[in-house]
Amino acid sequence: MTLPLALLLTTGIPAATDGMPNRQPELAAGNGIVALVFGSGHAVMFARSNDGGRTFSKAVAIAEPPVLALGRHRGPRIVFAGKAIVVSAVGGEALAAGEHAHGLPSDGNLLAWRSTDGGKTWLRPVTINDAPGSAREGLHAMAADREGHLAAVWLDLRSPGTRLYGAFSNDAGATWSKNLLVYESPGGTICQCCHPSLTELGNGEFAVMFRNVQGDSRDMFLLKLRDGRVVSPPVKAGNGTWKINACPMDGGGLALSGGRMVTAWRRGEEVFLAKEGDAEVRIGAGKDVALAAAGEKVFAIWNEAGGIAAWVSGQAEALSRTGAFPALTSLPDGGALAAWEEEGGIALRRLQ
């Protein structure tokens, strides 16, 4: 598959000269700019675009904790909350030990940095999780609205088993609430290594999606949050089920389109998408799907056969023959901007 040249407007962030690859990009748009964060070594990196993602500033380090959670959808997140930009990441002082530690911090906390001048300067971080070290798995999500309401959710290890916890801010990330147990599986754990997703629904309400464990199935579930509370029962996404006795280390995407939630996720080796109230639709084969919406237009992007594929309102196209871990954000002009890891750098594409 090939894309029309009009969709290939791009500028990338090249690999660092010190040999450290750029990893796990995330994007957000607001207040007239597009912002990009990613990890490089132990550093949380930030760059901004003033022209809708066509060009970006030189990336600068926001912070460099001794240990930064990266890989398999770990890494920093970024949102616009009112006039502020808020970046979150899981960092710690010491490496975890053991065969399956994945380079994660043994004492990892979910940290949030905020800027009120468009990313020129950053305030000292706030720790979101109130049980020290409980966010050490490094998998989390964050969302915000124009009024400065924020929600963060993460896989939490403060008790045996993995649970979904959350916290909220009503002052653009300056302070955060006491932590909330968002979901606890009757079986004792949700999926241990699949990242959650968040989107804002308006009026301080948020939707969260996570991979649950029910018997021998690991499917995506949805909840709604408002005013720091869970306000809906968990509902399974999609029609089918994935019977797997292991963690696929893959979450999904969540967005709001035309007043309806849209979800995308992997089941087996296929990628599905569903609009709220409609049956699921298979959109391709692969993994690591991300999602965005601009009005009624829905954008999805995922890893397919070692490359990057996109789906724009029903049409699937190939973006790159190489690459991994794509991210998306919608743009004010009705398009979207995609980013992914490629050859040690960050590749970027505008989609219309």
Mapped to the 3 state alphabet, what secondary structure does 190-219 carry? Answer: CCCCCCCEEEEEECCEEEEEEECCECCECC
Q: Name the 3-class secondary structure at 7.
A: helix
Q: How far apart are CA 148 and CA 311, in angstroms?
A: 31
- Picking from 182, 218, 317, 205, the residue whose alpha carbon sits closest to that of residue 261 is 205
Specify the CATH number for the domain of residue 228.
Answer: 2.120.10.10
Which amino acid is located at 214 in the chain? Q
**Overall average pLDDT of the 297-323 stretch:** 94
Question: Is 35:28 a contact under the CB 8 Å cutoff?
Answer: yes
Q: How far apart are CA 259 and CA 226, in angstroms?
A: 17
Pairing outcome for strands 252-257 and 126-127? unpaired
Q: How far apart are CA 133 and CA 129, in angstroms?
A: 8
Question: Is 340:325 a contact under the CB 8 Å cutoff?
Answer: yes
Which amino acid is located at 291 in the chain? L
pLDDT band for position 14 (50/70/90)?
confident
Q: How far apart are CA 160 and CA 287, in angstroms?
A: 29
CA 242 distance to own-chain centroid: 22
Domain ranges, residue 122: 5-351
pLDDT band for position 17 (50/70/90)?
low
| Residue 311 parent element (H or E) | strand 307-312
pLDDT band for position 11 (50/70/90)?
low
Q: Name the 3-class secondary structure at 301.
A: strand
For residue 309, what pLDDT is reported?
97
pLDDT digits (tens, 9 = 90+) for 24-81: 999 999 999 999 999 999 999 999 999 999 999 999 999 999 999 999 999 999 999 9
Question: Is 107:131 a contact under the CB 8 Å cutoff?
Answer: no
Please name every residue paired with 302 in a beta bridge, in sequence order, or none if there are none. 309
pLDDT digits (tens, 9 = 90+) for 107-129: 999 999 999 999 999 999 999 99
- Picking from 352, 264, 340, the residue whose alpha carbon sits closest to that of residue 315 is 352
Which amino acid is located at 270 in the chain? E
**Overall average pLDDT of the 246-272 stretch:** 96
pLDDT band for position 6 (50/70/90)?
very low
Q: How far apart are CA 332 and CA 350, in angstroms?
A: 12
- Mean pLDDT, the chain, integer: 94
Quickly tell me which residue has 């754990």 as its tokens. Answer: 189
- In this model, does residue 90 exceed pLDDT 80? yes
Give percent of the chain above pLDDT 70.
96
Number of structural domains the chain divides into: 1
- Picking from 62, 54, 55, the residue whose alpha carbon sits closest to that of residue 78 is 62
Enumerate the H helices of 24-168 as residue ranges: none
**Overall average pLDDT of the 257-283 stretch:** 96
Please say whether the dihedral angle defined by the alpha carbons of residues 54, 59, 63 and 65, taken in this order, is positive or negative.
positive
